[in-house]
Amino acid sequence: MRIGVPKEVKNHEYRVTMTPIGVHELVSHGHDVIIEAGAGEGSSISNEEHKGAGAQLVSDPESAWGTHGEVDMVVKEPIAEEYARMREGLTLFTYLHLAADRPLTEELITRKVTAVAYETVQLPSGSLPLLYHMSEVAGCLAPQVGAYSLMKAQGGRGVLLGGVGGVANAKVVIIGAGVSGQNAANIALGMDADVTLLDTDLEKLRMSFWRYNNKVHGLASSKLAIEQHVTEADMVIGAVLIPGAAAPKLVTNDLVSRMKPGSVLVDIAVDQGGCFEDTRATTHADPTYMVHDSVFYCVANMPGAVPNTSTYALTNATLPYTVALADKGWQQALRDDQSLALGLSTHAGQVTNTPVGVAHDIAAIDPSAVLG
């Protein structure tokens, strides 16, 4: 099998889908790994390291993108300039977040691409193994970028998260106690903030009670609870995820208008459309914007800010699935692994993921109809 690894083109996206370890593993299975020169530089992986592991380097993205019957791997969903490189029969294995991206959904359908989304591969336990590590990274980053945005020079309230003697600590409210929310709570608590974690899942709140020795306020989420705590917050972190579906809008424009001037909102769920009404995707080059008197940070590829960590974490998670796709072909690999089958989003011009179909009012077929 030929596995193509183009260089990422999204704004300030420095990750790459394949480390030298991943290259060596695939080559040892008899596959060809084609990597665009320079693809790993942002993650501090040189061309020589990739080549030394057995990769074949090419000088242009067209040569790195695969064709019919081949697998192509990118970190972030293809953007407009890459659409023409997607071809019928290509297997695309990447983060897609299609519920928030109708243009890409339509392109995948039109070009009859077999698209397998990292973020909807789901184990029987309900966990998302290919999203887990990036959710950890985004969760850890959220309080850090939020703390920076709280500085007066950045448009924030001029509040130090941990406070000092005689001055109250900043109040951080995190909506969603999943992987990213728990990691955000951990970092915010480590920065000595006053942390409140909201979720409708009481089991997750019980886990946070023991994990943080009751130092994080774990509260059952409701519309009223969100309203009460968001209006009191210096920083709000949105960390709500419904696998494959658009994120629910939990913080309205009206609620933001009643927040403290200079408060900061960080939306980790931006890839799925965001859980704030006023969320719109931003970039690392221009990460924030104002809504009323509050600062919104909505960078759609937050883990790209720490690419060395993110790249190795991502390859650790994706490599077993990549090997299966290459060894068996996409169809047999998905037949053999129901968790991987849940990642199938489009095939032969049809949507194969129900939440994506619902988000765009497009009829979706069951993956079993494709897999037989």
Report pLDDT for 69: 60
Residue 296: the pLDDT is: 98
pLDDT tens digits, residue range 187-211? 999 999 999 999 999 999 999 999 9
Residue keyed to tokens 């020079």: 153
pLDDT in tens, 57-106: 999 998 898 776 688 888 988 999 999 999 898 999 999 999 889 999 99
Closest among 223, 215, 224, 216 to 173, alpha carbons compared: 216
- Smallest CA-to-CA distance from 103 within 283, 360, 344 is with 360
pLDDT digits (tens, 9 = 90+) for 149-168: 999 999 999 999 998 889 99
Nearest alpha-carbon partner for 265 in 170, 136, 143, 135: 143
Are the CB atoms for 52 and 20 separated by under 8 Å?
A: yes
- Which residue of the set 194, 234, 271, 278 is catalytic? 271
Average pLDDT of the chain, as a whole number: 94
CA 105, CA 187: separation in Å to the nearest integer?
35
Contact criterion met (CB below 8 Å) for 42 and 12: no
- Residue from 31, 50, 72, 97 carrying the catalytic annotation: 97
How does strand 114-117 pair with strand 91-94?
parallel
Sign for the pseudo-dihedral over CA of 305, 317, 140, 222: positive
Helices within the chain (DSSP H only): 20-28, 47-52, 61-64, 102-110, 132-149, 179-190, 202-211, 223-232, 253-257, 307-328, 330-336, 338-341, 354-360, 367-371
Whether 133 is catalytic is no
- Check whether 287 has a pLDDT greater than 90: yes
Question: For the residues of 70-109, what is the DSSP string, one character each?
Answer: -EEE-SSPP-GGGGGG--TT-EEEE---GGG-HHHHHHHH
pTM of the model: 0.88
**97-142 tens-digit pLDDT:** 998 899 999 999 999 999 999 999 999 998 999 999 999 999 999 9
Residue 97 a catalytic site member: yes
The strand pair at 32-36 and 56-58 is best described as parallel
Give residue for tokens 């790195």.
Answer: 64
